[in-house]
Structure 1
Amino acid sequence: MTDNKKNLEKENISNLLLRLSVPAIIGMMIQATYNITDTIFVGRALGENGVYAIGGLAVAFPVQMIIMATALAIGIGGASIISRSIGKNDVDRAERTFGNVILLVFISSIGIIVFGTIYLSPILQAFGATDAILPYSYDYLQIILYGTFFFSFALAVNSIVRAEGNANIAMYSMIISAGLNILLDPLFIFGFGMGIRGAAYATVISQIICAMYLINYYVGGKSIIKFRLKNLKPDLGIVNEISAIGISPFVRQGSSSIVVIVLNNVLVIYGGDVSVAVFGIMSRLLMFTIMPVLGIVHGLQPIIGFNYGAKNYDRVIQSVKLSASVASGISFAGFLLLFLFPEQLMNIFTSDKILIEEGISAIRISVLALPFVGFQIIGSALYQSIGKARPSFILSMSRQVFFLIPLVIILPRFFELNGVWIAFPISDLLAFALTFTMVSRELKSLNIEEV
């Protein structure tokens, strides 16, 4: 038994979760820092046009989220199979899954690049780009699309690395990508005077370097599973299972993209370009506060997957309860930060008084139910990790599709612009109630099976 496998099976849950989560949290926080600094640099570099540039990033973001959703669906679906296969000592199936993950990443990337390049302008207009915002979103996304394969490869393979229990390599890859991006941003944006296009070039270059680092990890023979060319042959059983499990993270990320599209279009109606820019800033701040929870999820998934595959259900229950408590604490801390200091945070991005004033109100309303979000994320991760596609799909759909989108469309008719922001806490509360009910039943079921 390798050290990673032994640790997943025997190590104290709190120590194991800490050891696997901390590297992921560090990597995710650096990634979140990049998302924020990218917006800050773009907003500051373009002066009076900074509002439109930030709006351009906000409109381009749904496309990036679709790319991310596709890569995460492949990576998380494959990682779930791989962690359970390792738990059953079926290394051959784990390696065949890895090969199919690489193949699916390549095929999906080509499709995204071709379709996105041909229909870029209509897509951005449909996503809420006004005449003032469109040139900025187009310039940025046109470059980002060409880095699709490297971005998708890094995201998907990172999930595989974590499935092996090697959290440090996953952390280093995120640090390389985000850290290099942070360093290159001011060079390309200010030094070369490239503005928003410079931000895109910095992103693509850093993604290429990250992908090369991960390739070296597997080629260097340091991993539990090996990359073999013969495993690039499609295995329909594995592809179907990846798709069944991956549909949940795809829907979660993809529905987030749909939410952003709906929000951008509603905000244009009720608030204009300034409101779109406010949402662009607010979404990055929310992402920053949630990233540590996602780091916990990355540490949690291999623990659940391995022990569920090995039928160690008590360890599954322990890890879920512990991670849910920690995630809830992090969500509450994020709520305090955003609710108490919105003005200070907005001032980091812009000096536009109208943008800052609207941002303060939007943030304070939107984060009212943020303390409940951590548990939602852990609940969805539970079902992904044990390979139960249907409940994972339901939970992934609940907050974004079942609750938030309808509320964003309906509430502004009664409360105008504030109705958009009010939709966030209401949907969070409803999603929490559903998640709590489903997860409680699942844990009771696992407890019975353990006995």
Structure 2
Amino acid sequence: MATTLVSGINALLMNQALLLYAGENGVAAYTVIYYVFSAMTALYIGYIYGVSPIISYNYGQHDTDKLKKLTKVNLIFIALVSGISALTAWIFGGNLIGIFAEPGTAVYEIAVHGNFIFMFALLFNGFNTYASGLFTALSNGVVSGVIAFCRTFLFSLGAILLLPGILQTNGIWLATPIAEFLGIIVSIMCFFRYRKRYGY
């Protein structure tokens, strides 16, 4: 919910920054990059939605052994998929972008350059999404909301407002990776702080 509520504000600010520094082609390029990003994140987002009821069930059963095993498997899966997704987006980025933008056009060139920077977010996004989903599954909506709010709004807003003024268009592409990187710090802190309480 927190992510959805603020996504419109982030999109507005991102588009305004792109219009200022890269024009209409920059806005079109961002749309293409986000299509690729969404495709890369779909697998582990689906996995997190699927595993959440299992986490809830084992927590309700007070089965800490299964929770610990499940957490280990989940973290390994998220790490592997995040790494593979990022590599796929970097190696085949031109091909994926070519589905939406004609190679050789200004939009394509901007998107290929922006894609390489933007996709660093994939290295952090998976664990952040998992951490938020974990606490939702454990009926701790406050911590889940804090994680989601920090990475999708607070850090993202700060990065969008600050970085373009320093790095121009590259700052726009860096905004999401920086927000996700700062978000993973919050996620890790929450993950370890509540580990004993929930027994995962």
Within 1, Cα distance between the matches of 2:77 and 2:63? 22
Residue 100 of structure 2 corresponds to 349
Deviation string, structure 1 residues 363-399 (Cα, Å, up to 9, x no partner): 0011124222211111111110111121111001111
**Mapped pair 1:279 → 2:37:** no
Structure 1 unaligned regions, length at least 5:
1-249
Contact 2:82 2:122 in 1 (8 A): yes
Displacement of 1:258: 2.0
Query: How far apart, CA to CA, are the structure 2 residues paired with 1:279 and 1:421?
Result: 9
One-letter identity of the residue aligned with 2:17: V
Name the amino acid aligned to 1:338. A
State how 1:129-144 maps to structure 2 within 5 Å.
none
Code of the residue aligned with 1:272 in structure 2: it is G
Alpha carbons 2:7, 2:152 under 8 Å: kept: yes
2:10–2:157 Cα contact (<8 Å) kept: yes
For the residues of structure 2 that align with 1:313 and 1:260, how far apart are their CA atoms? 40
Partner residue, 2:117:
365
State percent identity of aligned pairs. 24
Match of 1:328 among 61, 76, 79: 79
Which of 144, 168, 185 is residue 392 of structure 1 equivalent to?
A: 144
Deviation at 1:330, TM superposition (A): 0.5
The answer on whether the counterparts of 1:342 and 1:359 sit within 8 Å (CA) in structure 2 is no
- Give the match for residue 39 of structure 2: 288
1:439 to 170, 191, 200: 191
Match for residue 406 of structure 1? 158
Runs of 4+ in 1 over 6 A off after TM superposition: none
Q: Find out whether 1:315 has 2:66 as its counterpart.
A: yes
Residues 411 and 419 of structure 1 are in contact (CA less than 8 Å); yes or no, is this contact kept in structure 2?
Answer: yes
Corresponding residue number in structure 2 for 1:339 = 90
Q: Tell me the TM-score normalized by structure 1.
A: 0.43
Say whether the 8 Å CA contact 1:369–1:429 is kept in structure 2.
yes
Bigger radius of gyration among the two: 1
Alpha-carbon distance between aligned partners in 2 of 1:317 and 1:257, rounded to the nearest angstrom = 37
* Residue equivalent to 1:270: 21
CA contact (8 A) 1:317 1:446 kept: no
Contact 2:44–2:81 (CA<8 Å) still a contact in 1?
A: yes
Moved more, 372-381 or 308-317: 308-317
Mapped contact 1:411–1:420 kept (Cα < 8 A): yes
Q: How many pairs does the alignment contain?
A: 199
In structure 2, distance between residues paired with 1:361 and 1:350: 13
**2-side partners of 1:267 and 1:374: how far apart?**
26
The two structures have a TM-score, normalised by structure 2, of: 0.93
User: Which structure is richer in relative contact order (CA contacts within 8 A, separation 6 or more)?
Assistant: 2
CA shift at 1:307, angstroms? Answer: 1.7
Structure 2 counterpart of 1:433, one-letter code: I
Q: CA offsets, 1:22-50, max 9 Å, x none?
A: xxxxxxxxxxxxxxxxxxxxxxxxxxxxx
Residue 51 (structure 2) aligned to one of 288, 300, 324: 300
* Partner SS state of residue 368, structure 1: helix
Q: What's the offset of the Cα at 1:336?
A: 0.5
Deviations 1:218-262 (A, max 9, x none): xxxxxxxxxxxxxxxxxxxxxxxxxxxxxxxx1022222321121
- Equivalent residues of 1:251, 1:397 under 8 A apart: yes
Q: Residues 41 and 122 of structure 2 are in contact (CA less than 8 Å); yes or no, is this contact kept in structure 1? A: no
**Partner AA of 1:408 in structure 2:** I
Is residue 261 from structure 1 mapped to residue 16 from structure 2 by the alignment?
A: no
Give structure 2 stretches of 5+ with no counterpart: none
